[in-house]
Every structure is written in structure tokens, then in C-alpha cells.
Structure 1
Amino acid sequence: MESAKPNMDIIGGHQNVIVMRHGDRIDDFEPLWVSTAERPWDPPLLHDGKVRAFQTGQRIRSQVGFPIHRVVVSPFLRCIQTAAEVVAALSAVDLDHNALSSKEVPSIDNSKLKVAIEYGLCEILSTVAIKSEVAPKDGKFDFNFSDLEAMFPQGTVDPNVDMAYKELPQWGESVEGFKDRYVNTLKVLADKYPSENLLLVTHWGGVSATLYKYFKDATKYLVDYCGSVELRRQILNSDGFGESVEFEVVTSHGVSFKDHKVPIHGPLLTQSPI
């Protein structure tokens, strides 16, 4: 596949990546749903989760100050539905900006937004995130990509994308294994599209693993539904990045932490009650 062409929205500036958790999942609010579900390990969103996801897309469009060029999403249904709502909000012709912010809304073009599914952003495939009695008995998690891609607005799915991870992890992946997977997926995707701003829609583990890379003293990160962390790195030239260029955490939304040994100053994160 050809490398991404330079995009004048960020050349000479920065590449931005937002790593975001999915919206409100049904089994967290309706425990009996699992007992009758055909795929109890793959819950959909509640209606409120879809609303939260759409509103998050509105916030991103009106407040972050840069366009999103590409949305990359875990194949789990709750992430697909979240990404579909966010894409709809980012692509909407008209928004009630007065209800979103009292500040002047920047003129941002998301009309060429592209979407792709990525195995590397999938849920933690172990009992850390999925109860053994809910997981497939044979350890195989199946996804129908045609059905999932049909949930996105017409023309947004990029059919020519090669995934960073060609296969799902094996059931029973270790803690270090899933942390490394999330961090490596972010790096591979960012390097693959250095002239694009990315939105990665994933799970709690994906957002927290990203934060652990930068703030290792935290015992645990708490990530709300649609909680996110925004990263940025400087572009050195139109062809790519130097070895020394690293992402920095710019801000976060819906994220808190417990038992942090070294205080983090500024508006990035807030100490949660213990």
C-alpha cells in the first residue's frame, strides 16, 4: 500500500491522535441481557451510549481545533457503534454549535474522513476483561466485517487498509501482552499515516495502556465511557518523523487515576477519590 500523502492540515505542525473508549455497554446496566444473548462477549451500546458517542463526536468537532482524517476502531460491536455515531457527528452538515460551546467554532473539514477496523485495538482477550463463562468456549471470537462496515456512513470505509495486527490475539493474553499490543498499535498506525490526525476507538485497556506509557506512577487509571486522551507530536518534515520525536499527552476527558505517587500538574488528569 502506498504511504499517506502529505496533508496540509498538519504539515509544518503536529500530528494529533485521540485514543477513546467506547460508549455505555448494555450489560453494565442490564445484567440479564447476558443470559439470553447469542454473543454475550460482544454487547452493544445502550441508547444512552449512542447519544453519548454522538455528543462526543460533536465535542471533538467543535473543540479540538483540528480535523480528524481517519477513524480506526476495534471490531467489537460497542466500539463499532460508538465510532459510527462519532463519524456521523463529525460528518454532519449542521450542528447546534451554540449548545456546544460559547466560543467561536473553528471551520474544520471532516468531509474526507475515512474509517477502518483494526484487530490491534480489540478488547483484552483474557479474564481481565471478559468473564470465562461469557467467552466463546472454543476461544474463537468471530466478526463479520461486511456487517460491521455497513454501519458507517456511505463512502467513509477505506477498503484498502492493511491492519497493524492481521489476527486477533489468542485467548489468555498476558497483562504485559495487551499493554504492549495497544501501545504498538498506536505507534504503527501513527507512523503509517504521519500526515493524518487519527481517532482510535477502543476499550478501557487501550486508553489506560496509552496513559501508563507516559505516567507510569499511577496504580490505576479510571476511564469513563467515551473517555479519551489526546496526544500530539511534532512533524519534522513532509516525509515523516525522526527517531527522537515522541507523542506528548495534551489533555484528557473522562479520565482519572488512583494512588499516583508523583502529582501531575495542569488540567490533564484529576485525582479521583480513593
Structure 2
Amino acid sequence: MESSSPARNPNHPGEGDLQQRYQNVVVMRHGDRMDNFDENWTKTAARPWDPPLVDAGLARAFDTGRHLRASLDFPIHRVFVSPFLRCVQTAAQAVTALCSADSSSIHFLITGGGNDTNTLQVAIEFGLCEMLNTEAIKPECAPPSGDFAFNIPELEALLPAGTVDHTVKRVYEEMPQWGESVAAARTRYTEIIKALADKYPAENLLLVSHGEGVGVSFSAFSVDKTVYEVQYCGHTELRRPARGGEFEVKGYNGIRYCSTRT
């Protein structure tokens, strides 16, 4: 079993050469969620299916963005994020760290407007959402109507100013139906990674999703490996030739897996 990939060379090779040869996609889990630290939170929450991050989660998300900025040997051009609040908050922190000229200290961006960069484009994508079943969301916490009622303008306002791309057309124009099977959700995650990469073949992407989505991003593009744990802000680094083709896993962090080879 493994939890992280070997240390990478912090020196960045020439971006032009890498950009011509490869497309890169980083798939990342959200940070530490409130309901896993305060068992009473869901009892009074207006949206018990949609917990925010705790302060440690905000810090972890920022620190992960800073780590990606220092360690990746390619630039991130575009970010797609699940509409769940914990993922949007994670994306806001990671994007701030990725874009900051000085990301040496933790910075909590609680609301939008804290960053004037236009170097990254961010959009909410329903296809990256949590598994919509009782495996991921407790029945007593799910919305009775099956409508998760996301307010997209309010969520976009949490992202750094100047980063939201309002021209993007979502791959999933609506949320998946409540009650999807685990197998269907895993297929969805595999398909949305490929669809977003195909839609922007000349760009490197950061996808902020959920534990199952990150696990699928590792196992679907590896041979004989099954993921059994993805830590908060755990992530995979996928790569494929710029001309197209199959992805391979080139790096990972915060992922534990076992081999299924006999």
C-alpha cells in the first residue's frame, strides 16, 4: 500500500516544451469539513448536506495550493469545482495560493474580492459533485425533495475576484439525480475528467471534487490498484500526450491504495 509519490524536483523545466507534449490534470479533494469535527452541526444547519470547511480545512487548502505552485512542473490554466460549499471554499484557497506572488503565509479568503489576478479561470461543474446516494450523504441529512438548491451566484462570489469564467458551458447542465449507484457515480467521475480535458485540450486543469472522485481518478488510470482512502486535499496528477490519448498517473499525494494483482 502507498500514501504518496516520491519527492519531485522543485526546479521547473521549460514550460513551452512540456506544454507542447503533454496535457496535465490535477484532481483534488476538498479540505476538512465541519460535520466531521462537530457532530452537532447537522442538527441545526439549514443545509445539513452541504457543510463548510473548518479553519483547519481552509489552511490545508491554501497550503495544498502553495505546494502545487512549488512542485508542479507545469502551470495550471483552468479550475473546475464541484458546487458543494466545501469544494468551492477549497478552490478559493487553492487558487489564491496558486496565483499569489507571495504565498509564504496562510491567507483565509472567506469571501471573494481578495485577489485581482486573471491568470486562472474558474467555473463550477455539476459533474464533479459528491456521489448523490446514501453511501456519501446520510439519509437524514439529504434534502427531502432531492433538490440540493445550489445558489451559483453566491458560490461564485466566494471565489477570488477576476477568476470566474461566466462563458463556460457546463458538461453537466443539471445535477445528477439523487439515488445514483456507486458504480454510476464512479463512471461519472471518469467521464467528467475525460470530458473536461477534451474540452480544453491545450490547457492544464485543476479539478476540485470529493474523495470518491479523487479515488476514481487514481484507480481508473492505474493498473490493478484499488483506492481505500483519500485524505483531505489528497490529489492525483494525471498526464497524457497533448495530441490526445489515455491518461496516466504521474503523481499523487494523500492517497492510500492496495494492489489487486494476484
TM over 0.5: yes
Structure 2 residue 102 is matched with structure 1 residue 94: yes
CA contact (8 A) 2:25 2:204 kept: yes
In the alignment, which residue of structure 1 is the partner of 2:247?
247
Instruction: Tell me how far apart the structure 2 counterparts of residues 249 and 96 of structure 1 sit (CA, whole Å).
Output: 28
What displacement does 1:175 show? Answer: 1.4
Equivalent residue runs for 1:196-215 within 5 Å: 196-215=203-222
169 and 198 in structure 1: CA distance in 2 versus 1, 3 angstrom threshold:
same
TM-score by length of 2: 0.86
What displacement does 1:94 show? Answer: 1.4
Name structure 1 gaps, 5 residues minimum. 1-6, 98-109, 264-274
1:214 counterpart SS class: coil
How many aligned residue pairs are there?
Answer: 238
Structure 2 residue 128 is matched with structure 1 residue 156: no
In the alignment, which residue of structure 2 is the partner of 1:266?
none
1:12 counterpart SS class: helix
In the alignment, which residue of structure 1 is the partner of 2:257?
257
1:223 counterpart SS class: strand
In the alignment, which residue of structure 2 is the partner of 1:224?
231
Larger radius of gyration: 1
Instruction: Tell me how far apart the structure 1 counterparts of residues 16 and 151 of structure 2 sit (CA, whole Å).
Output: 35
Equivalent residue runs for 1:1-274 within 5 Å: 10-96=18-104, 111-215=118-222, 217-236=224-243, 241=244, 245-258=245-258, 260-262=259-261
Instruction: Tell me how far apart the structure 2 counterparts of residues 172 and 226 of structure 1 sit (CA, whole Å).
Output: 26
Instruction: Tell me how far apart the structure 2 counterparts of residues 246 and 145 of structure 1 sit (CA, whole Å).
Output: 32
Instruction: Tell me how far apart the structure 2 counterparts of residues 93 and 210 of structure 1 sit (CA, whole Å).
Output: 30
1:72 counterpart SS class: strand
CA contact (8 A) 1:230 1:250 kept: yes
CA contact (8 A) 2:222 2:249 kept: no
What displacement does 1:216 show? Answer: 5.8
Instruction: Tell me how far apart the structure 1 counterparts of residues 17 and 158 of structure 2 sit (CA, whole Å).
Output: 28
Name structure 2 gaps, 5 residues minimum. 1-14, 106-116
